[in-house]
Amino acid sequence: MIMTFRWFGADDPIPLKHIRQIPGVTGVVSALYDIPVGDAWPRARLERLVADVDEAGLTLSVVESIPVHEDIKLGRPTRDRLVDQYAESVQHMGELGIPVLCYNFMPIFDWTRTDLAMVQPDGSTALAYDDAALSRIDLSRGTGDLPGWATAYDATTLGALLAAYKEVDAERLWENFAYFLERVVPVAQSVGVKMAIHPDDPPWPIFGLPRIITDGAAFDRLTRIVDLPANGVTFCSGSLGAAPSNDLPAIVRSIGGRGRIHFAHCRNVKWTGDRRFNEAPHPSRFGDVDMHAVLKALHETGFSGPMRPDHGRMIWGETGRPGYGLYDRALGATYLQGLWEGITR
Ligand code: DNO
């Protein structure tokens, strides 16, 4: 297992030299954040990123994410050019020796929360989600009212996208996903890049949009569409763990047993009602994720890839990007390493 940490590039308030000081963290998870969605990532830009991380004494272990253009998810005729450009970015990753790509296939919205700073009894703040609160969000004014870091859309653009998705139900989305996988995975396989789809977060439909990567059955289905080792998943304990019906260790054993877990996101959640949860400190006893059981299953299935502490709370007065402060994630990284040491020794 390689312990990694997400870094948002030069705009991240947390510099690489601080990440380097977290015990045991050797890998960085990052991306090129200013390339328009759909464009191919220039090789020279990716090379610069690799060099910057390298100069800090760390290794770029994962690209998270190259976003998938909505036209691909919608199956529009423009998708062929966009898929080619996606494959070109993957090719550049391979040429530079970046081994893992984390991406997602969620319509319009990436991870979604209804509260970015829910005050906890200890005075820290955590990200939270409540389906009832989500249903009260008015999207007729664009993404302005949406808490989170979702791509910002004005009312007209968002309205048009939501209308276009009326034609795309879950099965159609699967077809469009298959079309993408059939063209990109073989390229990834040939250049030595492992593709690791991130499960939908939360793992159920939101705003009437389909969400398909929500459980172990979906992992199984997608990895069989193109049955190559490069076609794998990001096992995210927090995303999958938001649904009590997901048996996390069983999912790890099934998909990990086939060698398809290429990346692990470890985070804890506390269920507070039906489709309602808040994020919790990483150790098992603070939430509903049995982190010990998850890591044990990862170990038993031979997991040797990158792992990162996922979202942390804001503690010790830290301010910054919701979910991505330094302190609580650093505590998560050391906790996860302790657990791993206890399991593997
Ligand atoms: C949230 C992240 C996700 C993830 C993407 C991968 O904090 O886990 O935004 O990066 O879904 O494409």
Determine, yes or no, domain membership for 154. Answer: no
Residue 139, CA distances (Å) to 44, 116, 143, 147, 154 in order = 38, 18, 6, 12, 10
33-43 per-residue burial string, b: 16 or more CB within 10 A, e: under 16? eebeebebbee
Is 147's pLDDT higher than 80?
A: no
Residue 237 — φ and ψ, nearest 5°?
A: -65, -30
Given pLDDT bands bounded at 50, 70 and 90, which one contains residue 150?
Answer: low
Pairing label, strands 115-119, 125-130: antiparallel
Contact 249, 293 (CB under 8 A): yes
| Model confidence pLDDT, tens digit, residues 46-92 | 999 999 999 999 999 999 999 999 999 999 999 999 999 999 999 99
Given pLDDT bands bounded at 50, 70 and 90, which one contains residue 141?
Answer: confident
Q: Residue 85 and residue 73: Cα distance in Å, rounded?
A: 15
Indicate the number of domains in the chain: 1
Determine, yes or no, domain membership for 202. Answer: yes
241-253 per-residue burial string, b: 16 or more CB within 10 A, e: under 16? bbbeebebbebbb
Determine, yes or no, domain membership for 119. Answer: no
Determine, yes or no, domain membership for 191. Answer: yes
Determine, yes or no, domain membership for 48. Answer: yes
**Residue for token pair 């791993």:** 340
Pocket test for ligand 1, best of 37, 102, 110 (most atoms within 8 A of CB): 110
Pocket test for ligand 1, best of 111, 149, 262 (most atoms within 8 A of CB): 111
pLDDT computed for residue 153 by the predictor: 86
- Averaged pLDDT score across all residues of the chain: 96
**HSE on the CB side for 68, CA within 13 Å?**
29
Structural domain containing residue 99 = 2-108+167-272+284-344
Q: Structure tokens of 71?
A: 């036209």
Query: Largest alpha-carbon pair distance within the chain?
Result: 57
Determine, yes or no, domain membership for 225. Answer: yes
Q: Which helix (DSSP H) or strand (DSSP E) does residue 270 occupy?
A: strand 268-273
Would you give the DSSP letter of residue 316? T
Determine, yes or no, domain membership for 159. Answer: no
Q: What CATH number corresponds to the domain at position 12?
A: 3.20.20.150
Determine, yes or no, domain membership for 113. Answer: no
| Model confidence pLDDT, tens digit, residues 294-303 | 999 999 999 9
Q: Which helix (DSSP H) or strand (DSSP E) does residue 95 occupy?
A: helix 79-95
pLDDT computed for residue 83 by the predictor: 98
Is 143's pLDDT higher than 90?
A: no
- Lowest mean pLDDT of 93-97, 133-137, 268-272, name the range: 133-137
| Model confidence pLDDT, tens digit, residues 240-273 | 999 999 999 999 999 999 999 999 999 999 999 9
Question: Ligand 1: residues whose CB is within 6 Å?
Answer: 64-65, 102-104, 110-111, 198, 265, 311, 323
